[in-house]
Structure 1
Amino acid sequence: MKKLLSKYKNKIFKILVKAISFFLKKNCVDSKNLRVLILSTTGLGDSLWATPAFSTLKQYFPNAYLAVLTTSFGAQVFQNNPHVNQIFTLSSSLFSLWKKLRKEKFQIVFHFHTSQRFVLPLSCIIGAEKVVGTKNKCKGLDFLLTNAFEDNKTHEVVRRLKQLEALQVFAKPSTLSFYLTEKEKEQFQKFVTPDKLKVAIHPGAKDGYKCWPSSNFIKLIHLLHNDFSIDLYLTGSPHEKSTLHKIASEAPFVQIVQNLDMRKFAGLLSQMDLVISNDTGPMHLAEALNIKTIGIFSPTNPNLCGPLSKDSHVFYKKKTCSFCMARKCKEPFCLYQIGPEEVFEKCKFLLAH
């Protein structure tokens, strides 16, 4: 039923886009005065994966006008990014947003990743000559793309950079970026102890099947506490509160930090010597802040979504089940293959170097 409904919606979008486009004048791509709109309306990691493409575009086209259409959360991710000229958010009414986008005379649109079905059709009726995306990543709306690249099951950063070939840009992947102001950094410099090592541990994730067992985090925390003069911070979102308190009850010397907005959370992470995390947004944020990072993966594949920084390390084990239930999994057995002792050994190395 859900697939039928999606198919029906897509047919309506196709008719509407075709009808409206008939009356629109297209803005042709002009490499000397390039005007680019990037669509990125999903989570923290997905948003950060777009940042290497921003810097690459500005490297090839220094005078380009680069805008991003995102969510209010994404706007916090892209705030202060020197490569982004303007940020549009989905908080506006659709008609108001369409008028704003149409007014900017965008010549090319890149569909990096969107959660909302209407975003791609909307971007097709603002006058851009080219709408670029990846096949099978558009909720069945591939027919709206003027340039569709194959999904070669590469890293998400590489997939986004691949789309830039529509402008004859051929780039190698680079690390993620996140830009804090000095004031945002300074507010947490007073919060941490300057002469101690500082480690943040993020034991949760949106999807339970990505979560390393709490018992392993508890053992790792004790190993770190016993071996180092160290401040340990346990971070998480409100829905991870029970996990945080479960771990803290077994390791009362950790400090729980939660309920920070995204930019304040980034300010905290910027003061860390090391961040240990499951495969989730804060791991990517730590990488973007150039903080040493350990990511714990299974069954997700770090070759597709892991950190790229030389200061990052990944623990990865292949899935143990012949059929992975992914989000329906209640007990991620594959993650039991990674022991706290081996993670601790890597922590020792990273903290010593």
Structure 2
Amino acid sequence: MGGGGEPGIRQLADRERRAGACAGEARPFAAGGFRFRAGRGRGKLSAVMKADAVRPPVRVLIVKLSSLGDLFHALPAVHNLKTGLGARVDWVTQPEYVELVRCFTDVERVFAFPRRGWPRGLRPFLAELRRESYDYVIDLQGLLKSALVAFLARGRRRIGPSYRREGAGWFYTSAAAPRDRRRHAVEQALDVVGHLRLEPVGVKFPVKFPERRLTEPRPRVALLPLSRWASKNWPLPSFVEVGQRLRQRRGASMFILGGPADKDCGVELQRALGGGAVNLAGKLSLVETGALLKQMDLVIANDSGPIHMAAAVGTPVLAIFGPTDPRRTGPYGPRHRVLTASLPCQPCFRRNCRRLGLPCLANVRPEEVLAAAEQMLEAGTAPG
């Protein structure tokens, strides 16, 4: 949390804890099929077997503040909650993602977490959350900031992941999901809501973007050459070579996508590809990007948030992974492919590689990416 924000929310949390202690408040929490209640005096615990695994709640609040890919990883879990409990589901996220989360069809209301304007913006934000009287507040982030939001919302039960960090577990009434960092992030989120013993409904990504009509001929291929980590970026000349070959051999319409910080790279890539490539880097909102990705036949990208957006709308993704682990954060589902050099040092999760020339990415050859891209286009896995 940036600026002077974190001390403010910590102080409010401390005040909430002290108020509960002074009032002799009994706070229920659940674990392992039992309901426990902490009482006064010696603080003895009594356990009563629950009659049912869970009572259908009236309201559920999801706390998932960021980042782009992580929001999409949470969608199947939210869908399982929505269908399994028949409840209203609301969501807290950072301001830059509010319009995007409004496209998630299982979500009723979206709250913008006030990252700036402390402490003035915090009190009305918390007042809004508390008016909803949530039965369950589920933190799918597992960090101190998100756990504090869950705690201060005053839900009846607060559930968070067992793999939480930064002391977040102090603010939950229940910790859920196995501590298996090898599981995909989508499955980890499903594990958390699985604590409520819901019937599995299958992995679905309920999201609806506005329709966007394109006149460019198929196949349409989107290139996303940059990510937030320099160590995750496949060399730009390799993107150029693959793009040129797909245009020559397949007559592909090329689209260049990226965020505001990627504008210069987009211009450079468009110039190298020659006339006809559509450069939209830094020109689209997240919602507009989602609508465009839905119209693509293939996305070729590094490990970055938009690959999960594309996967959610059913567009095949060809992802190139270097320092990160595709088992955990690769595009989810059978329609996608991940290429990696499979070096002994992978995955290292380093933002700055200690080895010269980023060998984990440089060793993924353009010819290999081109062959995979052509196979995916020929397979007819593209939407529409």
Q: TM-score, normalised by structure 2?
A: 0.80
Matching residue of 2:180: 152
Q: Deviations over 1:283-319 (max 9, x none)?
A: 1111111111111112211110111222211112334
Partners of 1:293 and 1:11 lie apart in 2 by 41
Partners of 2:81 and 2:349 lie apart in 1 by 38
Q: Name stretches of at least 5 consecutive residues in structure 1 with no aligned partner.
A: none
Greater RCO (Cα-Cα under 8 Å, separation 6 or more): 1
The structure with the largest helix share of the pair is: 1
Matching residue of 2:289: 265
Matching residue of 2:36: none
Partners of 1:21 and 1:324 lie apart in 2 by 44
Q: CA deviation at 1:209?
A: 0.9
- Deviating beyond 6 angstroms after TM superposition, the runs of 4 or more aligned structure 1 residues are 7-11, 24-30
Q: Name stretches of at least 5 consecutive residues in structure 2 with no aligned partner.
A: 31-53, 115-119
Partners of 2:106 and 2:134 lie apart in 1 by 16
What is the aligned counterpart of 1:161 among 177, 190, 197? 190
SS of residue matched to 1:326: coil
Superposition map of 1:143-292 within 5 A: 143-149=170-176, 150-153=178-181, 154-169=183-198, 171=200, 174-180=203-209, 184-185=210-211, 188-189=212-213, 191-193=214-216, 195-253=217-275, 254-258=277-281, 259-292=283-316
Q: What number of residue pairs does the alignment pair up?
A: 341
Mean Cα deviation higher: 19-28 or 101-110: 19-28
- Overall identity of the aligned pairs, in %: 22
Q: CA deviation at 1:65?
A: 1.6
Matching residue of 1:35: 59
Q: Deviations over 1:74-106 (max 9, x none)?
A: 222221333112111114811111111111111
* RMSD of aligned Cα (Å): 3.0
Matched, 1:299 2:328: no
Amino acid in the other structure paired with 1:174: V
Partners of 2:335 and 2:347 lie apart in 1 by 33
Q: TM-score, normalised by structure 1?
A: 0.86
Amino acid in the other structure paired with 1:270: K
8 A Cα contact 1:48 1:177, kept in partner: no
**Distance change (3 Å), C-alpha of 1:21 and 1:93:** farther
Partners of 1:11 and 1:268 lie apart in 2 by 41
Q: CA deviation at 1:140?
A: 2.2
Matching residue of 1:111: 139
Matching residue of 2:359: 333
